[in-house]
Structure 1
Amino acid sequence: MTGLLQMLNKSNGFENNNSHAFSYDSLPLIARLFLMSASILLLLTASLKIIALVQAPAYLNTPDPLIYITSRYTTLASAAFLEVLVAITIYKYRTYITSIMLLLWLCAIFITYRAGFASLEISDRCLCLGGIPNMTKQTATLFDAIGLAMLIYMASGCFLVLAAHGLKCLRKKRCFATNS
């Protein structure tokens, strides 16, 4: 994906990432704040997953109820790794389209996982917030709703940022700046 964006930038004469339509500099403050907040949420949920992995409760050694070929431990570790990877990418890359697309990709994976739980009527809870529900006296349903709300926030925010970019393109009658 990054190679494709670099190729697009070069073909349109954008050697410096800060000078084209996909740079953070061209992004409104609210969109930059959204990306930062999404990154912080990803790091927070990854931290909760890592805490659960370090504690290694017995239920993590059982097979994942949706992905039978792996354990819950592996699924949780993979999710934490992807969350950290996307959060770091949001900070590292200066093209927001890369950040938005990676965040949407991660949201699609998590939404698909949750949809699998719902469609197969699996009664186990999602491990999206690690072992926090087991450490508190609150119900797992509450934490499941919190995880779903964060997922909806990130996915809808990505679509709103992309829509705002599209409107900006329509107003300017072009989506890429030109060197002329």
Structure 2
Amino acid sequence: MRIEDLFLKSAAVILAVTAMCKLISVAGEAKVMALADPVFRFISLRQLLLVTALAEGAVAWYVWKGKESAAKSFLVLWLCGMFIGYRLGLWLMNYKGCSCVGTVTEWLPVPPATVDWVMKVVLAYLTAGSAVCFWKTFLKGDTKQTVGHQPAG
């Protein structure tokens, strides 16, 4: 198995786990879920986490089952871009913390700040890895990794 395949499988697992954490939070009773999201004030945190969990789940599914390496890495990179944009919005507002995995952090034996730091490292891993994979499969012309390509001749 190639290193790119290992990265993409790990990305699918990470996205599936974080999507499940968000869905568990959405199904919970925590009052914070009814509050407006700090960046997207027109929707509740529950609504934002639900939409995000569905997007993560869909990307995780395609990355695990899909055929085109360039599309897999692009989807992970696109999702990371959305997460970076959201975190940038929080940072510009001087907002502390991120509800990246919902209220599941309350069950963990580590401080929320530690979970936030770990999620930043995970985001960096997914962003860098997907960018490298995308570059290697698409921009370098590794068309053997994509479905539908017919070699000339």
Give the TM-score of the pair, scaled to structure 1: 0.75
1:22-53 per-residue CA deviation (whole Å, 9 max, x = no partner) reads: xxxxxx61100100000000000011111111
Q: Secondary structure at the match of 2:43?
A: coil
Partner in structure 2 of residue 106 of structure 1: 79
Residues matched between the structures, number? 147
Q: Secondary structure at the match of 1:131?
A: helix
Of 160-169 and 63-72, the range deviating more from structure 2: 160-169
Partner in structure 1 of residue 59 of structure 2: 86
- Cα distance, 1:167–1:70 mapped onto 2, change above 3 Å: closer
Partner in structure 2 of residue 150 of structure 1: 122
Alignment-mate amino acid for residue 133 of structure 2: V
How far residue 145 of structure 1 moved from its aligned partner, in angstroms, is 0.8
2:98 to 121, 126, 150: 126
Q: Please say if residues 74 and 134 of structure 2, whose CA atoms lie closer than 8 Å, have aligned partners that are also in contact.
A: no
Partner in structure 2 of residue 135 of structure 1: 107
Q: Secondary structure at the match of 1:98?
A: helix
How far residue 177 of structure 1 moved from its aligned partner, in angstroms, is 6.5
Unaligned runs of 5+ in 1: 1-27, 171-175
**C-alpha distance in 2 between matches for 1:64 and 1:150:** 22
How far residue 165 of structure 1 moved from its aligned partner, in angstroms, is 3.5
Q: Please say if residues 80 and 123 of structure 2, whose CA atoms lie closer than 8 Å, have aligned partners that are also in contact.
A: yes
Give the TM-score of the pair, scaled to structure 2: 0.88
1:165 to 137, 144, 153: 137
2:3 corresponds to 1:30: yes
CA radius of gyration, larger in: 1
- Cα distance, 1:114–1:167 mapped onto 2, change above 3 Å: closer
